[in-house]
Chains A and B, each alone.
Chain A
Amino acid sequence: MKLAFEIALRFLKSSKGQTTLIVLGIAIGVSVQIFIGSLITGLQKSLVDKTVGSAPQITVSPQEDGAYILDSQAEAKTINAANPEEIKNLVAVTQGPAILNTSDESATILLRGFDWEAAQGIYKISDRIIKGALATNDNEIIMGEDLSKKLSLSVGDTIELITPARKTGKFLITGIFDLQVKSLNESWILSNDRAVQTFLETGEGVSQIEMQVNDVFAADEVAGDIKKRLNDDALVVTNWKEENAALLSGLSGQTASSLMIQVFVMISVVLGIASVLAISVVQKSKQIGILKAMGMHNPKASLVFLLQGFLLGVLGAFVGVGLGISLSWSFSTFVTNPDGSSLVPFFIDWSFIGISAGIAVAASTLAALIPAIRVSRLDPMEVIKNG
């Protein structure tokens, strides 16, 4: 083994140009793989984060329209117990539609109330207040930026809300928020839980319990856990994945295409190595012939070439990982949105990089198999006869 390794190393060293070329070939293959993989993963992560990062990923609500969850604290405890490692940012929401009247216009809105502190996890409201402050007292609300512009309202104005049950109430606007989603900015009016519960007359009841999970892609599984744990037919558990099927199929399409690219890049790398090593067998046939004449066994002679493939793979993977990471970094640093933020965030998944490097090493060794078989078939007589 040691001799075979040393011969392999010397063979590679003796034809430096050829070795550099293959290493570069493998390195480019690996770096493209890492770059595309990281790009796609980064893109998907940011897309998912933008889509559901600031929204509930699992919602528990009553089956019946207009019904309420009465003991929300007990239910929240049960929900959390279903999968305490994944579930986070639990918040109980009381909500209901209402009509907003000003002196000359009206709009249909959704009045939502929650405990500001609990809601901070999902909605990060306090960071999104662009004018004024949170509504902490009864008869105070905050409203979306677009709605306030449409109705020409601002902080300090008072509005009138009418519920479907024809109850009216006057509310003071204490702040304007921007949730960065136009439809929400146009329709949501937010307040603290007590104010909304009082206005909608729900008592202690809440409309739904919302939460996020640590692994957003596991939301459906966690939702299943919750459903099992609650064991209550009156409650419905929904998750973002079932509501965003189109996005998910887009993502999996993207993953599949990136996988295809990676597979073909690897195949071309393997073919490259196999062909260069095949040429190298011809180049080194004299050496192999004499080694065999001197008593080197066939498997050991083949091992010399397998080890060459392995060494090339290791070297190529090493250079490729460096190249791939710097490529991804440059892309996320220099390819930016007009506001200076990177188009695709820099994202390194070491296990993915490890797998790419491992595949490259395995593929290189495998590529050396054909030349290695040729070596074992090489008859020393052929070499000696032909000088």
Chain B
Amino acid sequence: MDNYVVEVKGVNKVYGKTIKTVALHNLNLGFKTGSFNAIIGESGSGKSTLLNILGTLDRPTKGDVIINGISTKNMTKGRLSDLRNETLGFVFQFHYLLPEFTALENVLMPYRIANGKADKKSRDRAREILNLVGLEKVENNLATNMSGGQQQRTAIARALMNQPKIILADEPTGNLDSQTTDSIYQLFRKINQELGTTFIVITHDRRVAEKADRIVEILDGRISLDIVK
């Protein structure tokens, strides 16, 4: 048994009831702890569906998702929520920051969902992470008063707040210019190396994918390529 932090076993995903569209075909895939993985593929290939299933946001039609060695098949919605809160960090193409809150408050959000109140220790940690992503100067800005790059970096900082084992990122730089893109991937790599966080990143930028430890290509809901460097 390999040392997988997250694994899908025989996962099928079918959309629609009358007209059935199969998004994923009997997928078996595992990701090692501390690895940096890229998932590539055309639009509509099923890569986002896979990521959402990995992140327990979506449930597979058939098969199982095992996170940290625990099957998620029979977990209740509440238990899945707790699992996401403790183990997973999400970064999407859109930042999804709460515009009513400042950068610091947004970063603290996952902690507060679990613990209610933010203590001094958690605040210090949030500041530390903002420092890591280079946003210490705008920590008290409302999410709406930041540039696109700053917003995305805040979203990354938020994903790191609860020290997750896995970061799932779906085209995290899709809306950013190439310079910002580079700095974000450098940041990902830095976090991966310093904190040992597992990264699973969807991208269609081959240049980005080439820097990963492993590249998985999805085509029509099947794995068409799996390269481990």
A295 within 8 A of B: yes
B100 within 8 A of A: yes
A74 within 8 A of B: no
Asked if A294 contacts B109 (CB within 8 A), the reply is: yes
Count residues on chain A whose CB falls below 8 Å from chain B CBs: 27
Contact flag A287-B52 (CB < 8 Å), given A294-B84, A295-B86, A295-B114 = no
A130 within 8 A of B: no
Interface string of A270-283 (1 = CB under 8 A from B): 00000000000000
How many residue pairs, one in A and one in B, have C-beta atoms under 8 Å apart? 72
Closest to B159 in A: A294
**A2, A3, A14, A384: which contacts B100 (Cβ < 8 A)?**
A14
B60 within 8 A of A: no
C-alpha gap A2/B93 in the complex (Å): 30
A298 within 8 A of B: yes
Closest to B90 in A: A293
Specify which chain A residues have a CB less than 8 angstroms from the CB of B158 in the assembled complex.
294
Interface size class, chain B:
20 to 34
A227 within 8 A of B: no
Asked if B110 contacts A381 (CB within 8 A), the reply is: no
Asked if A290 contacts B113 (CB within 8 A), the reply is: no
Contact flag A295-B116 (CB < 8 Å), given A10-B101, A14-B99, A381-B52 = no
CB distance from A135 to the nearest CB of B (A): 81
A297 within 8 A of B: yes
C-alpha gap A298/B55 in the complex (Å): 17
Asked if A287 contacts B110 (CB within 8 A), the reply is: no
Closest to B84 in A: A295
C-alpha gap A293/B170 in the complex (Å): 14
Contact flag A10-B100 (CB < 8 Å), given A294-B113, A295-B110 = yes
Within 8 A of A (CB), among B162-181: 170
B117 within 8 A of A: yes
C-alpha gap A380/B94 in the complex (Å): 14
B82 within 8 A of A: yes
- Chain B CB count within 10 A is highest, among A287, A293, A300, A387, for A293
C-alpha gap A14/B78 in the complex (Å): 29
Interface string of A45-60 (1 = CB under 8 A from B): 0000000000000000
Kindly list the 9 A-B residue pairs having the minimum CB-CB distance in the complex, ordered from nearest. Answer: A295-B85, A10-B100, A290-B96, A14-B100, A295-B81, A295-B84, A3-B112, A294-B110, A296-B113
Q: What are 19 A-B contacts defined by CB distance under 8 Å?
A: A3-B113, A3-B116, A10-B101, A11-B100, A287-B100, A291-B98, A291-B113, A292-B81, A293-B55, A293-B90, A294-B85, A294-B110, A295-B82, A297-B81, A298-B77, A298-B81, A380-B57, A385-B48, A387-B93
- Which residues in B have some Cβ–Cβ distance to A below 8 Å? 48, 52, 55, 57-58, 77-78, 81-86, 90, 92-94, 96, 98-101, 109-110, 112-114, 116-117, 158, 170
